[in-house]
Amino acid sequence: MSKVSDAVWGNEQAYFNQPPANVPPDAWWISIVFFWLLLPLNLIMALLCVFIDPMFRWIGSLAMFSTLHGRPLWMAWAIWWYQIATALQLLVRSGKSRFTLFSRSRAIYGGGEWWWHGEGVWNCPYKSVRATMASDQTRKPAFGCVSTAVPELFPARMLLFLDGEEHRIVRSLYEEQLLAPKNWHPRVEALSALLAELAPSPCTLAALDRPTVDKMVASAIWFLLFGVRLTAGQAATIAQWGGSGLAGMFVFPRMIHRIAFNLLLRRVKALRIGTLQVFSEHGLQPLAAQMNEALGPHKRPSACALADELMYAVNFAGVGGTQHATWGTLAFLRRTTVDVKPESVTFPPGSLPALYKEDPAAFIKECVRLDAPVTSATCAFAQPERPRFNNTCCGGPKEHAVPAGTLHQYVLSIANRDPAQFDEPNTFNPKRHNLDSMVAWNGALDQPNQYPRICPGQAMSVVVIQSIVGLVQEMR
């Protein structure tokens, strides 16, 4: 490919310093000033909400009222308390486990099919989640059921936020240019040798640590997709897209980032800039320019803008998701877990390495079912809805009228443990008869063509996991 001109690539500095969009009044800087002035009161109220469930439900109801009425400045205090209490619920009462946090939130709101969390309504029954994933979802710039900071944290038009025609066109382009088997299958044969150079010697379950695995996954995904070999420094950069790197910062809403004086946000921005540098160092700029031209009416203002969006798909989803699934598989082989608490999984007797060898792909799928890399996903209601849950301090469940456009989070991790669908849902059993009906990779593997947003890199992800696990001495 020929070199891309500066005019086609665009000005990266201007691109990464665009002004913030859609800032709600409660996240204005004047709100942040008053947050810090009232810090002692804010911490006291948040702590009370963490340890007294009816109070958490009460502050959640105020946050819900504020959200449904445009998050006015005069209600900023409710959002302060709610967002701090939610963060502490995760860190203190849920052991940093997203699955535990979601399960706790569901129980606090009555334990039914619906509950409020973040800026929207959540639900988890298997049938409902599967139906949502099979639908033509309405999307907006939101992640983790909160409106996210665009364009500072996420590109506003990245694939995750698109719907309708633009989503279909951009996704089809990614699949055609990168994810079609003809593009990456020929490289699989050389993958084990590449990964062996990065593995510890001897490569045992005990010797493989999380940073090493994360770099191996980053190198594998870039090799299969782009045919390039990352240097040690480049692999360390790309590895930061996952859960042991900066992925935990992506879920924070703009208010939290501003309370932290945007220090965390700047780290994510630096990662985006560093990733584009790796992209350019491997001569991949012409690929982004070619793909951008192919978008026609959906063409981005510059090739670097499309490259940044592409890097989210490749690294945030592809690398980060595969890192979790790889480490999860290695953890299950040692009878432990990653996101969920170990006691939430019933392991079978006998040798788990031997069980893996019987059917590696099934073993990996069952690991993902019980300890999901993607625990939930965000869309928005296309029509007004009336979900039923308890959001009062002392009352019971009732219907709530929520307008079209309200965020809707569907929880894959809880759906995959629905006893109506899976026998002994908490038991690790790669031989279960309906394993492919699990909802993971944003679809169900028994009917993948029914899911317009199913991960097109699912097969690649499993190949990478098997290649890394195959290097472990206990697996030979």
Residue 464: helix, strand or coil by DSSP? helix
What pLDDT, on the 0 to 100 scale, is given for residue 411? 97
What pLDDT, on the 0 to 100 scale, is given for residue 243? 85
- What gap in Å lies between CA 364 and CA 220, rounded to an integer? 17
Average pLDDT estimate for 394-398: 81
Closest CA to 117 of 157, 146, 76, 150: 146
What is the phi-psi region of residue 111: left when phi exceeds 0, alpha when psi lies from -120 to 50, beta otherwise?
left
What pLDDT, on the 0 to 100 scale, is given for residue 397? 87
Residues 6+ apart with CB under 8 A from 243: 320, 323, 324, 338
What pLDDT, on the 0 to 100 scale, is given for residue 394? 74
User: Per-residue pLDDT for 1 more than 70?
Assistant: no
- For the segment 149-199, what is each residue's pLDDT rounded down to a tens digit? 999 999 999 999 999 999 999 999 999 999 999 999 999 999 999 999 999
Beta carbons of 468 and 349 less than 8 angstroms apart = no
Residue with the two structure tokens 């000033």: 33
The H or E element that residue 398 is part of is strand 398-399
Fill in the amino acid letter for 116: W
- What gap in Å lies between CA 227 and CA 19, rounded to an integer? 36
Name which of 19-33, 61-75, 238-252, 411-425 the model is least confident about: 238-252
CATH number given to 98-475: 1.10.630.10
pTM for this entry: 0.95
What pLDDT, on the 0 to 100 scale, is given for residue 396? 80
| Beta strand residue intervals within 63-160, DSSP E | 114-117, 120-123, 142-143, 146-147
Neighbours of 420 (CB within 10 A): 9
What pLDDT, on the 0 to 100 scale, is given for residue 160? 95
> What distances in angstroms separate CA 441 from CA 90, 203, 366, 452, one per listed residue?
24, 29, 13, 12
- What gap in Å lies between CA 156 and CA 234, rounded to an integer? 26
Task: State both tokens at 447.
Answer: 């009917």
Q: Which residues pair with 377 in a beta bridge?
A: 410
Contacts 24+ apart (CB under 8 A), 315-319: 315/218, 315/221, 315/238, 315/241, 315/275, 316/241, 316/247, 316/250, 317/160, 317/455, 317/457, 318/221, 318/225, 318/457, 318/460, 318/461, 319/217, 319/218, 319/221, 319/238, 319/239, 319/241, 319/242
Fill in the amino acid letter for 28: W
Beta carbons of 426 and 418 less than 8 angstroms apart = no
Rg (CA), the chain: 22
Average pLDDT estimate for 314-336: 96
Model confidence band, residue 2 (pLDDT cutoffs 50, 70, 90): low
Average pLDDT estimate for 49-74: 95
Closest CA to 409 of 137, 158, 151: 137
Model confidence band, residue 378 (pLDDT cutoffs 50, 70, 90): very high
Average of per-residue pLDDT values in the chain:
95
- What gap in Å lies between CA 244 and CA 251, rounded to an integer? 14
User: Per-residue pLDDT for 391 more than 90?
Assistant: no
What pLDDT, on the 0 to 100 scale, is given for residue 248? 87
- What gap in Å lies between CA 289 and CA 52, rounded to an integer? 54
Average pLDDT estimate for 86-94: 91
User: Per-residue pLDDT for 38 more than 60?
Assistant: yes
Domain boundaries, the chain: 23-93, 98-475
> What distances in angstroms separate CA 365 from CA 372, 377, 393, 472, one per listed residue?
10, 19, 40, 19
**Percent of all residues in the chain with a pLDDT value above 70, rounded to a whole number:** 100
